[in-house]
Amino acid sequence: MLNFLPRLGRGVSGALALIMSLPLAACDTAFDTFELPTGTADTYLQITATGAGPLDQATAYGAKPIAAKLPGYTTDSLLIGLERLTATAVVVFRDANGGRAQVLHVVPGASGGIGEIHGVSRHVIGPANERPGMTLREARVDPKSCRPGEGLWLGLAVCRSSGAANVALTFSFKGEPPATPTLPDAATLAEGELQRIIWTPPPTPTLTPTPAVAKAPTP
């Protein structure tokens, strides 16, 4: 199992220490780093309201069912930091630039399904064509949709994609100012760098019973 530590927020040394202290299985270290070279990148998958490429709400969680829907990709497992906990996820790789590029992190959900899909590569775009590595301004994200990250994401901004209500975007900021549970000023927020595109299953619509129509009395 791989041990992947995402770029977390400002002032999270304690959180890093917590993750690094967790016991891990034997690691496979033959993989590319999370960060990819800057510049134009080919697009492998798009995350939309319905899922990431062929992965959707109906896909069973697990390396085999995920790989079956993504021919040409390989999978492994890794430990990632979510906002309030750590979780073991299926990581999806694709050969690129002479190595393996991490493309997706897939987190388990309830009832054997997928709980979250994280796009972590510049080869993934979001519902409104957001791409990791873009600034918040370049991604045309509404700052009013953002909130400060909590827990392991303290110091990040968590925003909503303008293309889908169930897709979140996390942004990090340069420098190491003290971590506070507030968003940075508007100028700093606009220059935040997109780290992850996060899909969660859309809520199941609630069916409202149709009221019975009273029959007219028989004359």
User: For the chain, what percent of residues have pLDDT higher than 90?
Assistant: 65
- Domain membership of residue 208 (yes or no) is no
CATH of residue 40's domain is 2.60.460.10
Domain of residue 163 covers 2-199
- The pLDDT assigned to 4 comes to 44
Residue 211 belongs to a domain: no
pLDDT mean over 187-203: 95
pTM of the model: 0.77
185: in domain? yes
Whether 125 maps to a domain, the answer reads: yes
Q: What does the pLDDT look like over 54-64, one tens digit per residue?
A: 999 999 999 99
Q: Is residue 215 one of the residues assigned to a domain?
A: no
In which band, very low, low, confident or very high, does the pLDDT at 178 lie, cut at 50, 70 and 90?
Answer: low
pLDDT beyond 90 at 215: no
Ordered DSSP codes for 20-59: HTS---PPP--S--S---SS-----EEEETTEETTEETTS
Residues 6 or more apart from 117 whose CB is under 8 A from it?
47, 51, 52, 55, 104, 105, 106, 107, 198, 199
Residue 218 lies in a domain: no
Instruction: Flag whether pLDDT at 28 surpasses 60.
Output: no
Q: What share of the chain is helix, strand, coil (3-state, %, to 5)?
A: 15, 30, 55
Domain count, the chain: 1
